[in-house]
Structure 1
Amino acid sequence: MIERAAFFAQKQEVEEYFGFNTDREQLFEPHYNISPGRMIPVLLEGEGKDRYNFTRLQWGTKTVNGHERVAIDKENVQKMLQQDRAVRCVLPLSGFYLWKDADKKGSPFFVRMLNEPVMAIAGLYHQQGDYVLMVTTGSNPLIQPMSEKMPLILNQNYTAKWIDKIQKTDELIAKASNLFLLTDLSVLRVSKKVNNPENNGPKLIQPIPK
């Protein structure tokens, strides 16, 4: 289950990785425990000469049953695009947390890129509801022991393709589902302090012994 994310990349790292510039320094404030309902970094298609619009939007929404909805399976993406008039976006993050069990009794795990300063996750922006969802796909063998689903991670090339909306969504998802090797990702057991959404700080991503 994916219910937490982290963003602590430096402004220059994010701008260089995605190829844009912004003077909105406040958007780069680090947060090591982004929970559902909080504001999360988002890249949208830019206007005019601007390649991207970098902003922060609410992550997730409440369902009719009161549950938090923070992700959408890749099989349902096209339906949301057509019926809800959502648009494709990218969530530039430093990583995300996973728990093996729904009640979070076990230790959480922090997943990040090994050799990149930022992780680009495919997302959908629901314009009417003003919130974003992560797009999920089947987990690779590294993530499988912890979760059957994982975010759809994009490389730099597919980040641009995902946002510009020229290529068909189903084609992009099929090609982007296997962009990274197992050795591209790091999975570390971290403190249960991340279970409390009020906790924040770099200590949350420090590895702990098994």
Structure 2
Amino acid sequence: MERYVLHAAKTLIEDTFEVSSPSEVLFKHSFNIYPGSPMPIIYNEEQGRSISTGIWGINDSASDEAITEIAKSKLQSDHSELKPCIIPASGFYMWKQSVNDRLPFYVRMLSQEVLGFAGMYKVTESSEGKTNIQFAVITKASNVLLQPLGPTMPLILEPDHYSDWLEGQHQPLLTKFYKDTDLIPDLAVYRVPDLVNDPSENSRALIQAIPKRRDDD
């Protein structure tokens, strides 16, 4: 996954994932999130479920796909530095690959205003002793609806599975979700402006549907 969007209200995110935070900046709307961006993630701590800022990208070298392969093949105990998290999102972008100039599309779920992407996170410490959180999005093979746009999509957790994922029961869930490539959830997919190709652009205009302009859109 290359980019995603989060523009849900603070109260909705807190209610959906059963977390709370006094921070307002943590819930700032962003319509063009790319690797390296600081974004909220949900994870378990000893005192319970928590929400904090993490940086999208682990070690600046391990891709989401690489972390996905680790999660698929190993249990959490085998990679104790990687732990499960949930990434709140409103939707995500995909680019149609079958044309010379890639066409951007926005994907969102009709029945849920805020989604939970399955993820893994890692806590690091800088040379100055500052603690940082890095995260990756778990991806899976695209379902039949999204296959024309790309081979992979983020793994969208069902709300009933949030607790199991955060409590480390991710292996059975991965087995289940990787088998469900033919299932099509209630997704809306539509063409959006080419402005999304510029990471410096960040406005609601990026997720506004535009009409087809040519036969291969």
Q: Match for residue 56 of structure 1?
A: 53
Deviation string for 1:41-89 (max 9, x for gaps)?
21111332x4x211121101432xxxx8244464431448424620010
Q: Counterparts of 2:80 and 2:196 in 1: how far apart (Å)?
A: 33
Matches of 1:161 and 1:83 in 2, distance apart? 18
SS at match of 1:132: strand
- Structure 2 residue 168 is the aligned partner of structure 1 residue 174: no
Match of 2:103, SS? coil
Normalising by structure 1, what TM-score? 0.85
Aligned position for 2:166 = 163
**What is the CA RMSD across the aligned residues, in angstroms?**
2.5
Structure 1's 56 and 80: CA in aligned 2 closer, same or farther, altered over 3 A?
farther
Distance 1:204 1:71 in 2: 25
What secondary structure sits across from 2:161 in the alignment? helix
User: Structure 1 residues 57 and 103 mapped into 2: Cα distance closer, same or farther (>3 Å)?
Assistant: farther
Distance 1:103 1:36 in 2: 24
Q: Which string of whole-angstrom CA distances, capped at 9 and with x for unpartnered residues, describes residues 74-116 of structure 1?
A: 4431448424620010101111111123999222111111111
Runs of 4+ in 1 over 6 A off after TM superposition: none
- In structure 2, what is the equivalent of residue 76 of structure 1? 70
1:108 pairs with one of 101, 104, 108: 104
- AA aligned to 1:127 is V
- The one-letter code sitting in structure 2 at the alignment partner of 1:69 is S
**How far apart, CA to CA, are the structure 1 residues paired with 2:18 and 2:70?**
30
Distance change >3 Å, CA 105–CA 124, structure 1 → 2: same
Check the 8 A contact 1:80/1:86 in 2, yes or no.
Answer: no
List runs of 5+ in structure 1 lacking aligned partners.
none
Q: Are the counterparts in 1 of residues 5 and 30 from structure 2 also a CA contact under 8 Å?
A: yes
Name the % identity. 34
Residue 10 of structure 1 pairs with residue 9 of structure 2: yes
Q: Distance in 1 between matches of 2:123 and 2:13?
A: 24
Shift of 1:18: 1.6
